[in-house]
Every structure is written in C-alpha cells, then in structure tokens.
Amino acid sequence: MKRINNIIHFTRFLTKWIGMITIFVMMVIVTIAVILRGFSNPFTGQVEAVELLMLTLIMVGLSYTQSENAHIDIGLIVDKFPIRVQAVFDMIASVLMIAVCFIISFFNFEGFFSYVEIGYTSSVLSIPLFPFKLIVAIGMLLWGLEGLLKLIRSFLVFRKGENLSS
C-alpha cells in the first residue's frame, strides 16, 4: 500500500509541475497575442493553442485538486451526521467518482489509438490531437487513483469512527 501511495504522490508532484509550466506558457502566449494585437498583427492560432493548453491544465490539475481536497464541497446536510455516516457518504461518492473516472479514462485510451491512426489535427495550427487524448486519459486515471486513496481513507474513518489526520 505504501508503494502505491508513493507512486501516486510522485505522479501528483509531476502533474503539479506540468500544470505550472502549462499555465506559464498560456500566460506567455496570451501576453504576446495581446501585444501583437496592439500593433495590428494578430497571433494566428492563439485561441486554439490556449484551448489545448487549457485542456492540459485541467486534466493535470484534477488529481492534484483531489489530493488537496480542494474540489467544491457542499455539506449542508451531510456535515450534521455522525462521522461514520459522513464516511459512508464519502465512500459512496468516491466509488461513483472512481467509476466515472475509469470509464472516461478507458474510452480515451481506446480513442487515443484511433486518433493516432486517423491523424486528427487541430483546424488552424494543424497540431496533432492524439497527445491531448492521451492527456485526458491519464488525467482521469490519476484522478480516479486519488479517489481510490480517498475511498480507503473514508473506509478507515468509518472503521475507527474518528477523523484521520491527512
């Protein structure tokens, strides 16, 4: 279990840095595009490049956000229940999230090979789209693995009847 946890922590560290680099590149592209637009010389494909980078940023950020427990959480009713009941709700939510993440990841891994074979590209810059299909698949897989860790933590909370320090 500790080895799996270390692997997931390493991928979280890696995706965090990929996300930071991606957002920096997006800032540079947007800044250059705004400056060039001021000189009546627009940056061709700027919107398309930012859209693809935004996809990358979101996909690498999902697992990190899950690990930090930073997704939006509204607990108007569930927070009033005892700790064990809250843990049951957390387990149900985690199982559903894991299922959705793994299904999306599976179909994107499957679609990756057809994107490579057919050779889909973006419309303006003709950037191959298969790496982004792979990024979606990996991002959803990592988010599902983070959800699996949360499921295990929720199970331990249910078993012990008290909150665990993360």
At 28-83, the pLDDT tens digits run 999 999 999 889 888 889 999 999 999 999 999 998 898 888 888 777 888 889 98
| Highest mean predicted confidence (pLDDT) among 10-19, 76-85, 126-135, 154-163 | 126-135
pTM of whole model > 0.95? no
Residue of 139, 166, 140 lying closest to 19 (CA atoms): 139
CA 163, CA 128: separation in Å to the nearest integer?
A: 47
Helices assigned H by DSSP within 39-120:
46-67, 83-118
User: Which residues, including other chains, have CB under 8 Å from residue 158's CB and lie 6 or more apart?
Assistant: 84, 87, 88, 91
Check whether 166 has a pLDDT greater than 50.
no
pLDDT of residue 138: 94
Q: Are 59 and 140 in contact (CB under 8 A)?
A: yes
Q: Cα(117)–Cα(95) distance, rounded to whole angstroms?
A: 34
pLDDT, one tens digit per residue, over 14-24 is 999 999 999 99
Question: Are the beta carbons of 80 and 45 closer than 8 angstroms?
Answer: no
Are the C-beta atoms of residues 79 and 160 closer than 8 Å to each other? Answer: no
Q: What is the pLDDT of residue 5?
A: 79
Give me the percent of the chain exceeding a pLDDT of 70: 98
Contact call for residues 111 and 133 (beta carbons, < 8 A): yes
> What are residue 128's phi and psi, to 5 degrees?
-60, 135
pLDDT, tens digit (0-9, with 9 covering 90-100), for 139-149: 999 999 999 98
